[in-house]
Amino acid sequence: MNTKNLISRFLLALLIFGIFLIPSAIFNLSFVKFLLSNTIYLLLFGVLSLGFSFTFRINKMLVGSLILFFLSLISFLVIIINSFENQDVEKVKWNSPKNSFSIDFAVGRNGYIYLEASVNDTSGLFVFDTGAGISIVNEKYVSEKKVKEHPITITDSKGLQQTKNFYKVNNFVLGGIEIKRLQVYPIDSISWTEPKGFLYKQDSIIGVIGNNIISKYIWDFDLINKKVTISKSKRYCRTIPDSLSVPLIWNDGHKDIPVKINGAERMLIFDFGASEPLTLSDSIPNNFTGAKSGFTLYSSGALKHLDSTVSKGTNMDFVDVDLGIYTFNEVSCSENDHSDLLGLPFIWAFERVIVDYLNDKAYFITENRNSAGRGKINISRYNIWHNARENKDSLILTRNNEYYKFYGSTKLYQSRSGFDSIFYRDSLLLPNNDIEYGPATWVNEN
């Protein structure tokens, strides 16, 4: 067999190999990626193609024509496939003339931060939530079947899970940011329409800004003037002392932040979506205060419409917390919950907080001692008991702008820092309108 004939057979083998790949490339691109990433299968497929080609007698003119034809066909199909793939790729556009721009934000219940944005040309408020791995949108705004993607599972702070197909919305716009084909999770509309929904009667809120958006930029929150500056430059924080920063570590779609609780080092989720200051999935470390406080916290997650029974109470006690260079004494902390979270009250405890995912840091700048009922003033032991007051037929305890009403015979015991224990014989009305019946005692020992 001469050299030309041998070359012709190799070229024919190559054609056969390409012909078998063309249907796979059209209908199942993952098969092509599988072959290319597994050398053994690729070699075996090539040898079989080569052997198949040697079973035919070769006509030089025919081989030449086949080569030109199939090369042209393969090139044409590759162009088409790439164009389809590019149509599905997320595209981010920066429309601001500078490297940063500023917008106002609104403050909602429990201190949640809302930014005005639009999705598929529908405008509304979005919760800024560093605890959300993927952005979330009311399902009624993302119902186009042509942009439905593979399933994804989300988990809320109470451990509830839900699996649904995520979608790619046509466009998302926030100030000078425009993102086409952004991945979002379509949260159930009954969250807005059912009384047990997390966003019941809050129609102005249409979604959540999660880490698939947050991770693209630096977010500088001015908590005094309620403005946020968004920057695309990694050098945005170059003039800020690094001593004011705390490292952030990626972990399964969110960022973990190191803190010390009663002197013990812990890694917590850095969570703008958590209304409580501290939540632990296990017990409070190094708790030398003796008896637990007996204070029971009742909170719910974003998926509580799936099962409202998971909002059971968790025990709370007061702990000392070190966050970077700052120390907070006697901060409320719930234990044996479903998550490990550092929540919003620690954001409102400062005048300025910078979320710098581009450099894996968070900056906490200047403690805020007048945060309008939020932050440090609202998470300390003193504040919780100091805000108790009596009505004619009940006693009201104010906490995080929520009211706990005690009915029947009630006694308060006061220490230097405020009320230190409460005893009631009748019932307690919780903020979620559930009722607990007495007798019961809440005690906080020094």
Digit-coded pLDDT (tens) for 218-245: 999 999 999 999 999 999 999 999 999 9
- Whether residue 234 lies inside any domain: the answer is no
pTM, to two decimals: 0.68
Q: Verify that 101 and 83 share a domain, yes or no.
A: no
pLDDT tens for 350-372 read 999 999 999 999 999 998 876 44
pLDDT tens for 24-62 read 554 444 445 544 555 555 555 555 555 555 555 555 555
360 or 306: which leads in pLDDT: 360
CA distance to 158, 281, 299, 352, 384, per residue, from 274 (Å): 11, 14, 10, 18, 18
- As a whole number, mean pLDDT of residues 162-183 equals 89
- Whether residue 252 lies inside any domain: the answer is no
- Taking the C-alpha atoms of residue 301 and residue 131, their distance in angstroms, rounded to an integer, is 12
DSSP track, 180-223: EEEEEEEE-THHHHSTTSTTTT-TTEEEEE-HHHHTTSEEEEET
Mean predicted lDDT score pLDDT of the chain: 76
- For residue 140, which of 211, 91, 203, 214 has the smallest C-alpha distance? 203
Domain count, the chain: 2
Residue 422 pLDDT greater than 80, yes or no: no
Burial zone of 339 (CB within 10 Å; 0-12 exposed, 13-18 middle, 19+ buried):
buried
Q: Verify that 119 and 218 share a domain, yes or no.
A: yes
Stretch (H or E) spanning 18: helix 3-27
Residue 3 pLDDT greater than 90, yes or no: no
Q: Verify that 63 and 159 share a domain, yes or no.
A: no
Residue 271 pLDDT greater than 90, yes or no: yes
- End position of a domain, from candidates 52, 72, 87: 87
Q: Verify that 59 and 126 share a domain, yes or no.
A: no
390 or 107: which leads in pLDDT: 107
Three-point CA angle 351, 108, 309, nearest 5°:
120
- Whether residue 115 lies inside any domain: the answer is yes
* Domain CATH for 112: 2.40.70.10
Q: Verify that 131 and 206 share a domain, yes or no.
A: yes
Give the pLDDT score at 430.
82
Give the pLDDT score at 59.
55
Q: Verify that 96 and 208 share a domain, yes or no.
A: yes
Q: How confident is the model at residue 11 (pLDDT cuts 50, 70, 90)?
A: low
- Whether residue 171 lies inside any domain: the answer is yes
Q: Verify that 188 and 216 share a domain, yes or no.
A: yes
- For residue 299, which of 254, 330, 333, 322 has the smallest C-alpha distance? 333
Instruction: For residue 131, report the phi and psi dihedrals to the nearest 5 degrees.
Output: -85, -5
Q: Verify that 216 and 154 share a domain, yes or no.
A: yes
- Whether residue 51 lies inside any domain: the answer is yes
Burial 389-411 (b: 16+ CB within 10 A, else e): eeeeebbebbbbeeebbbbeebe
Residue 175 pLDDT greater than 80, yes or no: yes
- For residue 33, which of 24, 23, 43 has the smallest C-alpha distance? 24
166 or 417: which leads in pLDDT: 166
Side chain identity at residue 412, one-letter code: L
Give the pLDDT score at 2.
62
206 or 202: which leads in pLDDT: 206
- For residue 104, which of 130, 125, 129 has the smallest C-alpha distance? 125
Q: Verify that 83 and 108 share a domain, yes or no.
A: no
Give the pLDDT score at 102.
97
Residue 294 pLDDT greater than 50, yes or no: no
Side chain identity at residue 156, one-letter code: D
Q: Verify that 80 and 101 share a domain, yes or no.
A: no
Query: What residue numbers bound the domain in which 213 lies?
Result: 92-222
- As a whole number, mean pLDDT of residues 90-100 equals 93
Residue 14 pLDDT greater than 80, yes or no: no
Q: Verify that 178 and 203 share a domain, yes or no.
A: yes
- Taking the C-alpha atoms of residue 433 and residue 268, their distance in angstroms, rounded to an integer, is 30
- End position of a domain, from candidates 59, 87, 115: 87
- As a whole number, mean pLDDT of residues 174-191 equals 91
317 or 34: which leads in pLDDT: 317
- Whether residue 157 lies inside any domain: the answer is yes
Q: How confident is the model at residue 401 (pLDDT cuts 50, 70, 90)?
A: low
Contact 442, 432 (CB under 8 A): no
Q: Verify that 105 and 166 share a domain, yes or no.
A: yes
- End position of a domain, from candidates 23, 52, 87: 87
- Whether residue 73 lies inside any domain: the answer is yes
- Taking the C-alpha atoms of residue 363 and residue 181, their distance in angstroms, rounded to an integer, is 31
- Whether residue 167 lies inside any domain: the answer is yes
Range with lowest mean pLDDT among 151-160, 180-189, 249-258, 319-328: 151-160
